[in-house]
Chains A and B, each alone.
Chain A
Amino acid sequence: MSERHSADLKIRRGGPEGPAQFEHFEFEFEDGQSVLDALRWIRGNRDASLAVRYSCINANACKECVMRIDGRTGYACTTPLRAGEMLIEPLPNKRLIRDLVTDTLPPDERLAEP
């Protein structure tokens, strides 16, 4: 069995208004687990209000989980966790909706304003 390690996820919370707020979550992981594994665990076990977009979980097909991880753009589902602090933020160049969710939809697939 593989070893267990501890990741300290520093996650940007909240909406576009006001200064950026960060919250820390500890997650014990096994080798090979992904950042998305940690975020889903946090939603189920620590804070269900954490907003994070994803669908396919394993297949890297939907491309919905794109975010900023340690200052680089990547997919949460394909980025392995590592021990120590990891900085998790929404994409900087898209409109922020809340927490890790930004507006990444094709413009012609959005519900138009009434």
Chain B
Amino acid sequence: MGQYLETDVLIIGAGGAGMYAAISAAEAGAQVLLLDKSVIGRSGATIMAQMTVAAAIGEEEPDDWRFHLKDTITAGRGLVDEPLAEILCRTAPERIWQMEAWGVGWARKGNHITQAHAPGHDRNRCVYVDFLNTGPASSRTLRNQVRRHDSVRRISDLTVTDLVLQDGRAVGAVALHLETGQTVTIAAKATVIATGGLTSMYSRNSASANMGGDGFAMGLRAGAELIDMEFVQFFPIGHLAPRLIGMDPIMWDPFRYKLGGRLLNSAGEEFTQNYGTAEDGKYVVTRDTATYAIYKEVEAGRGSPHGGAWLSFEHIPDADLRAAFGPVIDRLADAGIDLTKMAIEVYPIAHYHMGGLRVDDTLATNVPNLFAAGEAVGGANGANRLSGNAITEAFVFGELAGRSAAAMAQGNAAPDIRDAAKPYLRVIETAAGQTGDGPTPTAAIAALKDLLQQDVGPFRTDEGLTHALDAIAEMTAALPDMPTGARAPFNQQLADWLGLRNMLAVARTIATAARTRTESRGAHQREDYPGLDEAWGYNQVLRLSGDELQLSRGEVRRLAPEEQPS
């Protein structure tokens, strides 16, 4: 049955949230096992982030976490879990200063940390590391801190496939070691899901290959509740053309913001003002408005050659471009892109997921001993996220979940899960034995991504969502027979099978919640139900009972009136 490991706290996923959780759990005295399906601290969204981190540290101008909270609640359009958002905004400054003390190197102007303005924030609030280095610097800093703790054991290349339940409690997990094909069983007194988001389920995305929603599917199968699954944030100006390699597809945003890049249609005209919000050369259009404007303009036949919008910096003087872009301008030149002479093409891409595991104020899920952190958590950002809040969420929730899990582990005896793990291990072994022919899970994943982009993407209809749900059900029925190739070291076809199994489970939750919500709000836009409907001011909660997906309404958690930010 492969290796058997034991720990106090198991942390699944080693991005910003998982690494932060490992540090705080270790500091609270727990033995920690930190796992990643790829490489610790290198393979999720955190290291790819290039922009900013929002926190009311008041370095650039006076600020207060209550202002940050107010902006977060406004952006979330009535669905923000306010107690969670309060934790996020109130604790953010502590994390930013801790990262500073650990040497992350937030950009400075004179003797203070620089804070930039980003859409939806009422003032300059967003810290960053130059140039486009926020994520890499954060990851490096956390990796170094994790390494200082002897009580944290790190294992890369270990894909967790299921949580193990015993008497209704989370007691650890089973995993596939890709290199050898071995299975591994991990007994844990408490478990933290820090697997990040799900945007690689869409064909147009900013994601790494590891953002396929594993944590949501594993949680769901273990009886955990998910909320707000219909809210997938599409980033309006993802890079579309010309093909640009070695660069993040969302890199244009900070420059558009700093310099006032112009969004143009095929006729060379600005158009976002036609869809609700005026642009006056400054970057004020919030993310979902811009996404809608580009999508509609393309639909109306006024798109760029590759089916997007033009983004132009041609009106900006050479020297200003160089000052803002720094060394990036040379990397663009290497790719044949001269911004003084040409516009580039952009299009909305899946970028972040607001929904996720439903948690309380300690980040505990409804499954005993099971916690969540980072993008895997649902609720704090409601129907739409402010830019800069996601890394903050990874730091703040990571730190808190690690502490909560360590405290929980202290009161629990070490479980013996050898028997309880057997049915979960059998799933991996059965899949690994399917050496026949037929359409591969690798190809099926590509088909699923196209389906979701088309029918469960930035704009939705009842017809499209119903079609998607039928197609998802068909693919789910075909999954058991899909071949995983010959048994071999580093069998990615088997990893694809396990990934597809999760993606299908998660796709069903998104499409189900999206079809039921007959209104448009934040990142959930229904073409057949345009406009926000006050009657829909609640969260949708999903849970699995056998094979049946149950959907219910949950009241949005609010702060007491006297605690509301004014």
Contact = CB atoms under 8 A, between A and B. Distances in A.
Interface of A: 1-2, 15, 30-34, 37, 43-45, 48-49, 51-64, 75, 77-78, 80, 97-99, 101, 103, 105-106, 108-111, 114
29 contacts: A30-B243, A34-B246, A43-B492, A44-B445, A44-B446, A48-B442, A49-B485, A51-B488, A51-B491, A55-B210, A57-B208, A58-B245, A58-B246, A61-B42, A61-B48, A64-B38, A77-B245, A77-B246, A78-B246, A101-B489, A101-B490, A105-B39, A105-B156, A106-B40, A109-B39, A109-B156, A111-B158, A111-B177, A111-B179
Contacts of A80: 245
A62 B248 CA distance: 12
A109 B42 contact: no
B305 interface: yes
A61, A64, A97, A99: most-surrounded residue (chain B CB, <10 A): A61
A32 B242 contact: yes
A37 B243 CA distance: 11
B209 A55 contact: yes
Q: Which 3 A-B pairs have the closest CB atoms?
A: A32-B243, A48-B442, A78-B246
B346 to A, nearest CB: 14
A109 to B, nearest CB: 4
A53 to B, nearest CB: 8
Nearest to A63: B42
Contacts of B47: 56, 59, 61-62
Nearest to B442: A48
B208 to A, nearest CB: 4
A103 B156 CA distance: 11
Contacts of B177: 111
A48 B489 CA distance: 14
B245 A34 contact: yes
B166 to A, nearest CB: 23
A58 B39 contact: no
**Central interface residue in A2, A59, A99, by most chain B CB within 10 Å:** A59
Given A58-B249, A97-B489, A110-B155, A48 B440 contact: yes
Contact of B184 (A31, A53, A99, A111): A111
A48 B492 contact: yes
Contacts of A44: 442-443, 445-446
A78 B247 CA distance: 9
A109 B208 contact: no
Nearest to B177: A111
B42 A64 contact: yes
Interface of B: 3, 38-40, 42-44, 47-48, 50, 135-136, 154-158, 177, 179-180, 182, 184, 206-210, 242-249, 305, 335-336, 440-443, 445-446, 485-486, 488-493, 496
B499 to A, nearest CB: 12
Contacts of A49: 485-486, 488, 491-493
Contact of B42 (A52, A62, A110): A62
A110 B38 contact: no
A83 to B, nearest CB: 15
Contact of B208 (A56, A63, A110): A56
Contact of A58 (B248, B446, B492): B248
Contacts of A114: 3
B42 to A, nearest CB: 5
Nearest to A54: B209
B248 A109 contact: no
B136 A48 contact: no
B493 A48 contact: yes
A44 B445 CA distance: 9
B443 A48 contact: yes
A75 B182 CA distance: 28
B457 to A, nearest CB: 19
Contacts of A77: 245-246
B443 A45 contact: yes
A9 B53 CA distance: 42
Given A1-B305, A64-B38, A109-B156, A15 B489 contact: yes
A31 B488 contact: no
Contact of B243 (A31, A45, A97): A31
A109 B154 contact: yes
A108 B154 contact: yes
B493 A62 contact: no
A44 B155 CA distance: 28
B33 to A, nearest CB: 11
Nearest to B239: A58
A60 B179 CA distance: 23
A111 B442 contact: no
A55 B42 contact: yes
Nearest to A60: B246
A78 B42 contact: no
Nearest to A36: B245
A110 B179 CA distance: 10
A52 B233 CA distance: 30
Contacts of A105: 39, 156-157
Given A62-B38, A111-B3, A32 B48 contact: no
Given A44-B443, A54-B209, A58-B246, A97 B42 contact: no
